[in-house]
Chain A
Amino acid sequence: MSNTKALKNLAQLKIGQSAIIDSFTDKQMALKLLEMGCTPGEIVKLDRIAPLGDPIAISVAGYLLSLRIAEASTVLVSPIPAV
């Protein structure tokens, strides 16, 4: 996880791709995301992208969460390679 080169932001994932949350780049946004269950170490999956390209929907903590690209790009994740 400490390997920063492998990190992407959440908005850069492909549909269906999973990743592990690493850290946040926006402190205010982080608070909101944390209380919604997006904690470091948690597995997220990009489920779908809205027809107009924004917002996106992710699976996290057992439910579906939608957020805007601008918000998702503050979440750094390390993608899980497809098995």
Chain B
Amino acid sequence: MDSNASFVHFSDKTTVKVALVGNPNSGKSTLFNALTGLNQKTGNFPGVTVDKKSGFAKLNSTITAEFIDLPGTYSLYPKSLDERVAFEVLCNSENAHHPDVTVIVADASNLKRNLFLVSQIIDLKIPVILALNMMDMVEKEGDAIDVIRLSEKLGVKVVGISARNKEGVEELKQALLQPLPVPQYDFIDIHKIAPEAIDKIKSVLKVKSDFSAFQIANNLSDINYLHNKEMQIKITDALNTLIIDKNKLQSLESVERYKTINRIVEECITRKSAIKTQSFTQKLDSVLTHRIWGYAIFLVVLFLIFQAIFFLAAFPMEWIESLFISISEITANVLPQGELSNLLVNGIIAGLSGVVVFVPQIALLFAFIAILEDTGYMARVSFIMDKLMRRFGLNGRSVIPLISGVACAVPAIMSARTISSWKERIITIFVTPLMSCSARLPVYTLLISLVVPQDKNSGFFNYQGLILMALYLIGFIAAIGSAWVMKWILKAKEKSYFIMELPVYRTPQWRTVGLTIYDKVKLFLFDAGKIIVAISIILWFLSSHAPGNKFDEIEKKYQDYSFRGDLNQDEIAAKISSEKLEVSYAGMLGKSIEPAIKPLGFDWKIGISLVTSFAAREVFVGTMATIYSAGNTDNTQSIREKMQAEKDPETGKPKYSIAVGFSLMIFYAFAMQCMSTLAVVYRETKSWKWPTVQFFFMGALAYVSSFIVYQLLK
């Protein structure tokens, strides 16, 4: 490379693309937040299910930098999905996100291991700046890093920063404006390790460095951007006669890198004492991973999370609901009665309300999760729970989504993001909706009060309470059982390791917590929200429209005074809605599925409720109230009485027998009766495959179980 070309200059550009790359726990995200603040957005790397975070920051009056936060990675080997993204963006100059300059974030208090990734990126021969983070920690420990010397040894610009305190962030921005040298020398002599392979790749492909060639030769099958057929064939031909022992070459490379790293670290760090004092972390660990205290504290943490999303969130959720009720009332009053007002009030506003109502739960859950992650405690949860959860194909971190699922599957599924193994994360997402969520509670309560006798002299045991507990237990067993089955069925995309860093404990940053909440709420509102509103409009249409002029006929029928008898105004209105629902499209759907659900003991009335409660399980209660013209839906007493009075047309006995009641409860325990959960699973897995599989799996489980329950109890 000639010396003129080895400097990169941005003065003629108005936007500079900057990639942030670094080890997990290196403070990369903290730096990204410090650089971009609220000026960031989350998208998608094309073709893969990896979130792409990008944001903008002004470097000076004319030049803006677009920062891309690449997934945290320990090395540049494209093994996992995250690593593949980092690899492709950095190695493929044709990639849409290929940066003008790369900022490598390294934890200065953990320099040795962090320099491994640094050394690999240096050998790619792309313009880099090393941001040496957590310099304050190094100073606190009494150590010193010779930044100038390190910069000389590495052949790249080094800026010492402390992203948490926002120290050095301005200097880093300024450094981005300076002409930047392409790394001057090879960190290791990679050509020595695999001379033939490197030469052959270089003979057919234009690459920036020997290391790029080495990576291509070594990871051919994992590199997507070479899936251009011609190129693939060309490379395979070139390597044809060569036998490449991937493992051997890669381990030689790693050993070689650490040799150089050890030498550099030796020369650049002056340590105050030979023994590294991690005393604070050590002391805390002996409590937090203690065989009694460790679990006791984790239980308290879970209890707090659960209380927050189950009870604390209930207040703002109520405010949101009453706010939307006022909005619908105002809308209904302002607009002339008719289709438009109906669509707005019962379709769109109801749908929006159904989306926004999740915000408090999501915000609270992610406040906890951000704190747990940021302090380093989450890694300890994995550590103490791993053995238990591993048996079921789950991760130590799956405990939090599973427990949160008892309040609501929507935030719970979003929280599975902290699980890094693809397989364990999918299993967690898949089984979490089987945990009995709070929306099932009204359904359970109604049905239990309907079919389970209230024990007068119950003493310690109360049958109703016992049944409710059993339902929660059944949900939990179904979740764990399904996880265990999936463990055997699901093929891992990548080899799963537990080899994981236990980061030192730190105080949480409120800025990070705030940004996490903001980010998650925004993602949910805009990504899952769209789907929820759409389905809500469809469901509204189905239950408020009928073929032909059937609705008019019903209205007309009740205008006839002789037909009204001595019913009052409210009772007539209730009768009209009930009959309308019966002839609506939803009613037709309910009737058409009757033959299929009859073996479960369900009639078309339950069928309609199954259709409408797809919006959310608790809608079951409201639909039942409409069907039985119970009027006020808040009055469960009256729904219960009407349902109790219902007779089976064939036997003449009460319709809601124990068999039907239990069959229905089991159905609601298992079936995926929740569009919001499906929307969020789609958002989190970025394909319709998983929500579809989940819908049918849970549906089948519900159907078969209800069938068995009904046939046994009948």
Residues of A within 8 A of B (CB): 27-37, 39-40, 42, 47-48, 50-55, 57, 59, 61-68, 71
Contact = CB atoms under 8 A, between A and B. Distances in A.
Contacts of B503: 64
Given A39-B258, A42-B258, 18 more contacts: A27-B247, A28-B495, A31-B250, A35-B75, A37-B116, A39-B255, A47-B285, A48-B285, A50-B386, A51-B290, A51-B295, A52-B387, A55-B387, A57-B383, A64-B501, A65-B499, A66-B498, A66-B499
Given A28-B247, A50-B386, A62-B113, A71 B497 contact: yes
25 contacts: A27-B247, A27-B251, A30-B247, A30-B251, A34-B251, A34-B254, A35-B254, A36-B74, A36-B499, A39-B254, A48-B285, A48-B289, A51-B295, A54-B387, A55-B383, A57-B383, A57-B502, A59-B278, A62-B110, A62-B113, A63-B113, A64-B503, A64-B504, A66-B383, A68-B386
Interface string B229-263: 00000000000000000010011001100100000
A34 B276 contact: no
Most chain A beta-carbon neighbours within 10 Å: one of B111, B294, B500:
B500
A17 to B, nearest CB: 16
B504 to A, nearest CB: 8
Interface in B200-221: none
Nearest to B495: A28
Contacts of B111: 62
A50 B383 contact: yes
Contacts of A37: 112-113, 116, 258
B379 interface: yes
Contacts of A31: 77, 247, 250-251, 254
B708 interface: no
Interface of B: 74-75, 77, 110-113, 116, 247, 250-251, 254-255, 258, 276, 278, 281-282, 285-286, 289-291, 294-295, 379, 382-384, 386-388, 495, 497-504
A66 B379 contact: yes
Contacts of B388: 52
B497 A53 contact: no
A68 B291 CA distance: 17
Contacts of A52: 384, 386-388
B110 A54 contact: no
A64 B499 CA distance: 11
Given A53-B387, A54-B387, A63-B110, A35 B501 contact: no
B112 A67 contact: no
Contact of B112 (A48, A59, A61): A61
B75 to A, nearest CB: 4
Closest 8 pairs between A and B when the two form their complex, measured CB to CB: A51-B291, A34-B254, A52-B387, A64-B502, A35-B75, A37-B113, A27-B247, A68-B498
A71 to B, nearest CB: 6
Contacts of A63: 110, 113, 501-502, 504
A68 B500 CA distance: 10
A33 to B, nearest CB: 7
A51 B380 CA distance: 11
A30 B250 CA distance: 10
A67 B498 contact: yes
**Chain A, interface SS category:** mixed
Contact of A71 (B281, B499, B501): B499
B450 to A, nearest CB: 44
A65 B379 CA distance: 10
B55 to A, nearest CB: 29
A23 to B, nearest CB: 11
B501 A32 contact: no
A16 to B, nearest CB: 11
Contacts of A40: 255
B255 A34 contact: yes
B498 A55 contact: yes
A61 B262 CA distance: 10
Contacts of A64: 278, 281, 501-504
Given A36-B74, A40-B255, A71-B498, A61 B113 contact: yes
Contacts of B276: 62
B360 to A, nearest CB: 34
Given A28-B247, A31-B254, A67-B500, A48 B286 contact: yes
Nearest to B376: A64
A49 to B, nearest CB: 9
Contacts of B251: 27, 30-31, 34
A52 B295 CA distance: 11
A53 B291 CA distance: 10
Given A36-B74, A51-B294, A65 B502 contact: yes
Contacts of B278: 59, 64
Contact of A51 (B74, B116, B282, B384): B384
Contacts of A32: 497, 499
A70 B347 CA distance: 55
Contacts of A68: 386, 498
